[in-house]
Amino acid sequence: MVAVASEPESYLPSPAASHTAAANDSSSSSSTSAPGLPPQRTSPHPYHPHLRHISLRRSTRTRSSSLGYRTAVFTTKPTQLERVILLLHNNPFIPPNSIREEVEWFYESLGIDDTYFALQDEEIIARHVLALWSAKIGAYVNSERELDVHLKQEDEDGAVFIHSTAPGHQVPPSPTATVTSFSTAGPSAMGTGGAGSGSDTPHGHYERTIEDKYLDSPPADHIYRLESYRSQAHIKHPLRSYFVTRCHFPTPSSDAGASSTDAFDIRAVSDIGFLEKVSESALARYSRIVRQVVERKGIVVEQHLGSGGSGGGEVRLYLGFQRLSAKGFFTTLTDLYHYYGLTSTRKYVEQFSNGATVVCVHLTNFPQSDDKAEREGKVQWILTQLTRDASLLYCLPSTPLQHLFSGQLLSVQESVYAYTGWIFAQHFLNRLGTEYATLQRLLTKGGEEDAAVAGVLAKLKKRLREVTYTRQEVLDVITAYPELIRSCYKMFERVHGVNASNRRAPSPSPYGNEEYDPAGIMKKIESVVANEHEVAVFQAFVTFNQAVLKTNFYQPTKVALSFRLDSAWLPEIEYPMPLYGMFLIIGSEFRGFHLRFRDVARGGIRIVQSRNRESYSINLRSLFDENYALASTQQKKNKDIPEGGSKGTILLDYGVGAIPRVAFEKYVDAMLDLLIPGQTPGIKEPIVDLLGKEEILFFGPDEGTAEFMDWASLHARHRGAGFWKAFTTGKGAGMGGIPHDTYGMTTRSIHQYVLGIYRKLGLEEGMVRKIQTGGPDGDLGSNEVMISGDMTVAIVDGNGVLYDPQGIDRGELMRLAGERKACGAFDVTKLGKGGFRVLVDETKVTLPDGSIVENGFKFRNEFHLDKLAQAELFVPCGGRPESVNLTNVHRLLDEDGVPRWKYVVEGANLFFTQEARLFLEKKSVIIFKDASANKGGVTSSSLEVLAALALNDEEFAKHMQVKDGVVPPFYEKYVEEVQTVIERNARAEFECIWREHERLKIPRSILTDQISIAIVKLNEEIQQNPVLWDNTPLRRLVLSEALPKLLLDQLGLDTILERVPDNYVRAIFGSWLASRFVYEFGHESGQFAFLQFMLGYFGKLGGEVKI
């Protein structure tokens, strides 16, 4: 493609002058180098195996170079030039006596790199010359003063882009540019762009186009490398050339992963063309960088001083990272060195089949000074800043605040900080205030009769948060006051930047200067901004600064930003249960939180994906609140295990091609930055830690992350975490995990509640009709099918709805559950009279009763509310949170106002809102909520963690890791003991809830929470009570009951106490006593009841009672 615009006046020949062949006219473009301009330089060319007209091996030769690559010389260039002249003589548009002049000017005076001539055939070059001539005519007619060169040619195997631009700038084509596209065979099918369109390049930004199309989102099975050169031309600005070529590896990408034997063999993983050109010394450097990229997360940065040394000559900057892990980074890197006043003469993007990418930039235009020491100091300062800024931009290469940095209104650190503050403000600026609290007090009296009011208040809360401050409004305020961003950043930097290398020492004051303390910042904000709305935006930045306890913001290498926050500022009216720990993680394609309610806590990590932009906006607004609700449910569910409740969420950005696994890996690695002290200068350094204590987190699988648990555990080991075996649960059996789905751990707890209802009411399981959400292809759904013996009349899953009023064929259901197939695979010939199957992609389906389903997707989503969804028992094993809420719960009633279900055991988390549960209980439905029913999985995971902490690496490998399908005897027995514990705990809580409801008439949904709160509170009191904990005989007696018998027999109590962290042992001690007491005596029992309970233990000790 050629896009040509105006030329400097002194270089514009008039058409008339050209017709008279005024070759010596000073205003014409001569074909030889002009005085004062550097001679044309040859450069390396890409390997391009599919060229049809040029054999690079026959037409080039190489010579050694100090630039790291062997320089290619295009030896047949003069012959090619003559052939282009002959082709143009067949085109009458250029006057014959001007053809040679124009061709020689194109070849010799524009400074186009030899690579272009080696890659293009004569026909394409002739078209480009013709296009430039046309632009000259247009520029002359329009009295334009400057000539812009914009050439573009693409095919499947690569592309060529050449354009003129001032050093240090990326300039789009002129608004008056004429744009024409060519392929190797002629005009391109891609079409032509109009004036000012820049063809298919957004805003004429060539690097962004190249990066988007070839580096970040290449076609399937295509990987491209890039070379770029800058050369001086006989026009106002030099030319920048980009050559994109498809890679061809000796070892295919699929065979050169990080775990393969070829992963570190640089010759096996490199592109063939790269190997032909790179020097041995440069290859050794690439080999070292690629190895580091494969071995660890984050960016790898190296500097190589050129002939000028640190005194201001050329410097080569190498940046290595995992391919596709930082989309947009190449273009942002250009903005970075332009920010420091540097220019590049060459740029390379080298790809390797083991997943590594290395960018090499040759930088010049460093500050000069007659004082050598001063000059070297300036150069070294710039290189240090480039390295640190590159690590930040690698985390966030493209943000809506990028223009503040590229426009030099803010530094890299300040713009990234501003983006972080924008994220924080989006989630926490829309708080409800005192007015909402007052309204709640006026309308709420407590108890079940206030369910409707509570539902209205919940809806009002959501609406207030949505409409008060929009994302764009907050962004506009931030953009309008860059000076306030600088002040807020300085406050942040003065606290957390002090321990990073090459930074100042800590000052006596926490903020170092009165101007940068919270009061001083707020005073400045209030004096600058226009209204209270804008004050609130910047107050969110101050709140963020005060909340940060530690961060990896200043770590030399990182993959995402992570912040450990103090949550004390969260309003109690909205978050009544205080958090113990709060993390915010921000990556280039996601944002996420991790919340926990106790020091020792465990919960799943969930990935949230959005179907469209609207659903993304909804997910974004509700992200923190849903995370808090899930962690709160987990806290209540974890009542009788050592770990408190926690939850992590990762919201993928919409429309950026986010890869779930990449986002998860960044999330985990950034969290580990705050859990593992940094000890490696230049890689992981010590950070400011205002928390001042060690933290250990335990992650589990959740939506979208079940397949990543093995990796997270291994990565924690690679990072040096001593807790790596226990870091994640839900690992494969080969990693010592106990898969919940394989052994039906969660379902075992759920089914105990079902059996408890049957036992209390004298029901026969086989006669009970049941409806189930979550199909035979899922974890809970498949195990519920296999463990139960009821008459299932309806199943709703991802495929659709399966219904049979006579009971779905049990044998066929068992087959699907065993094969983990959805109801779409059900043999419909086995449906009885009145039965049907409706899939989500079906429309206008006629049911046996004659009714018509217009949309299968909607029918599936709302079937639990349909009049056909009638049965004695409902067991939701899947579905979105709040599927039944106060606005639709009335649809569960028949025409007489009677609920269509008698019993509900909530297997899926948050399927019902609390208001909906209370509404159903008021209608005499027996309902057991999620926090009680589905705790089997968390119990299994807790005991998995305990085994990982108690066994050393050798014992863990021997007793807990399944190798080649061989299950260790210890593992098999341990799983059986875990199942026994799950069923015992479920029965104990069921009996407590049933008994307390009968005694106090409190709704079971409220009792679940009250029992959980009672256990959690008592647990904390027991752990903090030295009289109980310091009583060694009592402590050993309780632990001997609480710990799995198999572990005690294998290791002995003393070994377990020596290996398991003290805070974890305390949690075991407290949770065992608290849960046993509440389950036996009830949640309202007082001190005398607890004394009676403890007398049983002291009686076993046979000593004097001292409490």
Three-class HEC string of 465-501 = HHHCCCHHHHHHHHHHCHHHHHHHHHHHHHHHCCCCC
Distances from the Cα of 635 to the Cα of 578, 728, 918, 1008, angstroms: 12, 18, 21, 12
Which two tokens mark 971?
A: 């593992």
Beta-ladder partners of 963: 966
Active site residue 647: yes
DSSP assignment of 871-925, as one string? Answer: -SEEEE-S--TTSB-TTTGGGGB-TTS-BS-SEEE--STTSB-HHHHHHHHHTT-
Contact 261, 358 (CB under 8 A): no
Residue 579 makes CB contacts below 8 A (sequence gap 6+) with 567, 570, 595, 596, 597, 628, 631
Q: How many CA atoms lie within 13 A of 659 on its CB side?
A: 12
DSSP assignment of 994-1060, as one string? Answer: HHHHHHH---HHHHHHHHHHHHHHHHHHHHH-HHHHT-HHHHHHHHHHHS-HHHHHHH-HHHHHHHS
Q: Which stretch of DSSP H or E encloses residue 78?
A: helix 77-89
Q: Which stretch of DSSP H or E encloses residue 183?
A: strand 182-183
Q: How far apart are the first and last CA of the chain?
A: 88
Q: C-alpha dihedral over 770, 774, 780, 784, to 10 degrees?
A: 20
Q: How far apart are CA 184 and CA 152, in angstroms?
A: 11
Contact 285, 318 (CB under 8 A): yes
| Cα Dmax for the chain | 121
- The angle, 0 to 180 degrees and rounded to 10, between the axes of the packed helices 613-637 and 451-467 is 130
The one-letter amino acid at 289:
I
823-846: string of b/e by CB count within 10 Å (b at 16+)? bbebeeeebeeebbbbbbeeeebe
Q: How far apart are CA 30 and CA 18, in angstroms?
A: 12
- Identify which of 250, 235, 230 has the alpha carbon closest to the alpha carbon of residue 41: 230
Check 558, 639, 647, 902 and give the catalytic one: 647
- The angle, 0 to 180 degrees and rounded to 10, between the axes of the packed helices 1087-1101 and 1062-1081 is 120
Residue 897 makes CB contacts below 8 A (sequence gap 6+) with 923
- 192-198 contacts, C-beta under 8 A, 24 or more apart: 193/3, 198/3, 198/172, 198/173
Distances from the Cα of 659 to the Cα of 165, 217, 624, 653, 694, angstroms: 35, 12, 21, 10, 31
Catalytic residue numbers read: 647
